[in-house]
Structure formats: C-alpha cells, structure tokens
Amino acid sequence: MKQILIKNAYVVSMNEKREIYNNGSILIENDLIKAIGKVDEKSIIDTAEIIDAKGKIVLPGLINTHVHLSQQLGRGIADDVDLLTWLRERVWPYESNFDYESSLISSTACCVEMIKSGVTTFLEAGGQYVEAMAEAVKNTGIRAALSKSVMDEGIGLPTNWIKTADEEIQVQKELFDKYNNTADGRIKIWFGLRTIFNNSDDLIIKTKKIADELNTGIHMHIAEIAAENDYVKTNRGNSTVEHLHKLGALGPNLLAVHTVWLTDREIDLFRLYDVKVSHNPAAAMKVVLGFARIPEMLEKGLSVSIGTDGAPSNNRMDMMREMYLTSLIHKGRTLNPKVVPAEQVLEMATINGAKCALLEREIGSLEVGKKADLIILNPNTIHSLPLHDPIANIVYTMSSENVESTMCNGKWLMKNREILVLNESNLIEQVKIKSEEIKTKAKIVLPNRFPVIDII
Ligand SMILES: [Zn+2]
C-alpha cells in the first residue's frame, strides 16, 4: 500500500457544500482519497510520503473539456487568418501529413503542457491516430476521454480522411473494445462527431445509438459559427441543435463544444436533455467564432465547463489562462462585473468538467473515495501576492507557473515544476524536429511579418 499525506494546506474541496479546509490535510492511499480535512495520525503508515504544504493551496485537478492532441505541433501555423483559411489551408494539410510517430510526439507534448498547467483530465475532440493518443495518455499518467476524428462527408476534406458512416462506426467500436478503461482505467473511449458540416444524418443517428449502448460519450463541435446554422437550415431544414433534436441525438452523454450561436429555445433543449457544454473563450475570440451565451446557460443550470481547444486556435493549452478569460469575456460582453464570478469559473474547471466528462462520481472534487487527482498551487510569487481573496486570486491572478505539483490517480506527474513521467528536454527537441518536418511535408509557408535578414 502506498500513502501520501499532504498537510497544512488551504484545501479547496469543491464538494457539494464547497467546503475549504484551512490548514487542512489530505490523505491519499494508492489511487484514492482516504481522508480529508483533519486526518487521524494513527491511520498514516511509516512509509507514507509526507508533504508540508503550508501557505499553499490544494485544488482538484483541472479538467480541460476540449483538446486536439494532434494539433499541438501546429501551434503558430494559423494565426491572424479567417476560419476557412485556418482549416483548409493550414490545419487540415498539417494534420493530414501526420503519421503515428508525429501524432505520438504531438499528443505527448500536449499532455505535458496540460500537466504543467494543472490539468489532470481532458476530453479529446478527435484525431486520426487514437492509438498514438492512447499511448501518450498511458505514458504521461494523465486521465482522458479520447475520440477519433470522424467525417463521412463535406467539402474540402483531405481525401484520405473521408470514410463511410459504417466504416467510421466500426473503427470506433474497435477502438472502444481495445482501449476503453485501459491504463488503470484512466483512458475512456468516446465517439466523435467532428461537425455537422462533415457528418451525415445516418452517421449522427448511428453514433447516438452505439454511444448509448456502450454507455459512453459523444464529443461534437456544435453551433460554432453563424454560417453553420445557415448551412444546416439550407441543407437539412433547421439549425444544428434543432436538427440534432429531430434526429434524437440530444442527451446527457453529448458534449457540445463552442455552442456560440444558440437561441433561447436551444438552450432550453440543452437543459431538457442535460446536454453538456464546453466553453472555449480563447478560441472563440481568436478564430472569431463569437461570444457564447455562457451566463444565460449557467443561469439555466446547464453543466458548462471550460476547454482550451487546440494549439493553433488558442495558442496555449493552459487552463489557468482559460479560467481568467472565461470570467473576463462575459463581464465585457454583458457590461456586468457580477457575471461568471471566480467561484463559478472554478466550478466550471473542476466539478462541472467532471460532469461533462461523465466522471462526476470519480473526479472533480476532493472527497473521500474519489480518485486522487489534485494539484498544489504555490501563491508565493511576485505576480500572485498578496493573497487577500484566494479563490479570486486563483482565477484572476495566478498562472500555470503557480502550479507547483500535479497528481493524477494517486501518482505525481509533476512535482515542484519537474515533470516526472518523462524527460522533458528530450521531448522539446522532438517537438522542434517533428513540427518542422511536417510543415515542410504539408508545404505550409508562412509570410514574414517583418523583414528578416539572414546574417551569415
Ligand atoms: Zn475543436
């Protein structure tokens, strides 16, 4: 048996009552939380690792509900361009030149960046090499729900990506059988629907049916841009959400990402069917999708969580930064300083994220019997002191540099800012080499923004 005791910390539990244990302790036994608050000294074994976290904050691990692992090496290939250029001329050519090895490096780098920003669970939107993604998750020790990028129709797609609906379902079913609940249960396999532009009604209906049968989730970009609703109205007779409703595809296992262009009725439909929402503020602004009606959704009781989206559309996979943006953009949009306050943002990044991950009973808060997924924040930096209002400080002031240690499933993935699961310097070298290689293969040439003079 392995025990870890973290003591003298400011423990933010995010339990039902949102209790905070000042000068509290948390005892971890193997992969589970054994005790929290006041820990009986008699229950601690001699070999226990003891961490004195005086002056530090312990939080549940953050949950990033929208990630594109395979886009990590494409960071910086599509800045300051419109969405269609972003997609068709930059990201698709880039991603379609991926192979297993590049996908593994991309995924590993993305996982490590997330661990360094305090993420212990993420939901992957869908890549081409789920096997490589699973290997990265297994190696880095993080928790994830992975899905394949699924497309059976649409214009402008790389030809090697288009499959039939039945082929897509079959491949995902095989991935589910092979990987779901592997890596000590850290890996879940979900079904993917890329967007309604690229998914037929047949595929949507079949996806919903099999996801329900296997009791797993569906990850889909929904109502991302205004033109999406126009396209669906013209081609299928209704807006995306109304159309999904007609197909019977709305349900508690559907994660709707972005959801920028929803009507009041569509928000009500989401509530009625308990559809989960991933809000991605940075991507929504950078790729100019628009401002999702998050305060309205929260007010109606929807499970709204936070995602970073992929590296070319953010460009950081940094949940600390994303929490800050989440609060700010809605204050700015509504001209109301009280909307989406810090405590609500923290709920979105933790317990709401767990609901969206369909793992509320296992993660999202620090409670006895839940998985030991947690982070230690060190507020003792010049940019984050003084600590007058700790919860607000986490959201508005701290950055990923304040994440001192990250634990997932009872195991330290990062301790005192050092990644323990792999050699980070080696990984950095691999990222540099592989990203250049793919850029060349995909024939992506970026214009210089200022005159560059090569000095020989
Ligand atoms: Zn996305």
| CA 368-34-8 angle, 5° bins | 95
Both structure tokens of 36 = 């929290």
Tell me which H or E stretch contains 88.
none
Classify the C-alpha dihedral 240-245-247-248 as positive or negative: positive
335: CA distance to ligand 1 center in Å? 28
- What is residue 115's three-state secondary structure? helix
Cα torsion through 307, 311, 313, 315, rounded to 10: 90
222: CA distance to ligand 1 center in Å? 10
23: CA distance to ligand 1 center in Å? 40
**Total Cβ atoms within 10 A of residue 456:** 2
Backbone conformation region of residue 76, classed left if phi is above 0, alpha if psi is from -120 to 50, else beta: left
| CA 22-338-375 angle, 5° bins | 35
The one-letter amino acid code at 237 reads G
Residues with CB under 5 A from ligand 1 (ion): 125, 309
Both structure tokens of 267 = 């928000």
86: CA distance to ligand 1 center in Å? 12
- The sheet with strand 191-193 has its strands ordered as 191-193, 218-222, 254-258, 276-279, 304-306
194: CA distance to ligand 1 center in Å? 8
Q: What is the pLDDT of residue 156?
A: 66
Phi, psi of 191 (to 5 degrees): -100, 145
Q: Which residues contact 303 (CB under 8 A, 6 or more apart)?
A: 274, 276, 277, 352, 355, 356
Classify the C-alpha dihedral 150-97-431-88 as positive or negative: negative
Q: What is the pLDDT of residue 75?
A: 96
Instruction: Report, in angstroms and rounded to the nearest whole number, the Rg of the chain calculated over CA atoms.
Output: 22
Both structure tokens of 339 = 């909307």
CA distance 28 to 37: 12
Q: pLDDT per position in the chain (456 positions), as tens?
A: 999 999 999 999 999 999 999 999 999 999 999 999 999 989 999 999 999 999 999 999 999 999 999 999 999 999 999 888 888 889 989 988 999 999 999 999 999 999 999 999 999 999 889 999 999 999 999 999 999 999 998 766 777 778 899 999 999 999 999 999 999 999 999 999 999 999 999 999 999 999 999 999 999 999 999 989 999 999 999 999 999 999 999 999 999 999 999 999 999 999 999 999 999 999 999 988 899 999 999 999 999 999 999 999 999 999 999 999 999 999 999 999 999 999 999 999 999 999 999 999 999 999 999 999 999 999 999 999 999 999 999 999 999 999 999 999 999 999 999 999 999 999 999 999 999 999 999 999 898 999 999 999
224: CA distance to ligand 1 center in Å? 9
Identify each DSSP E strand in 61-207 by its residue range. 62-67, 119-124, 143-146, 187-189, 191-193
221: CA distance to ligand 1 center in Å? 6
Structural domains in the chain, CATH included, are: 3-60+370-419 (2.30.40.10), 62-356 (3.20.20.140)
SS3 content of the chain, % helix, strand, coil (to 5): 40, 20, 40
54: CA distance to ligand 1 center in Å? 39
308: CA distance to ligand 1 center in Å? 9
CA atoms within 13 A on the CB side of 60: 31
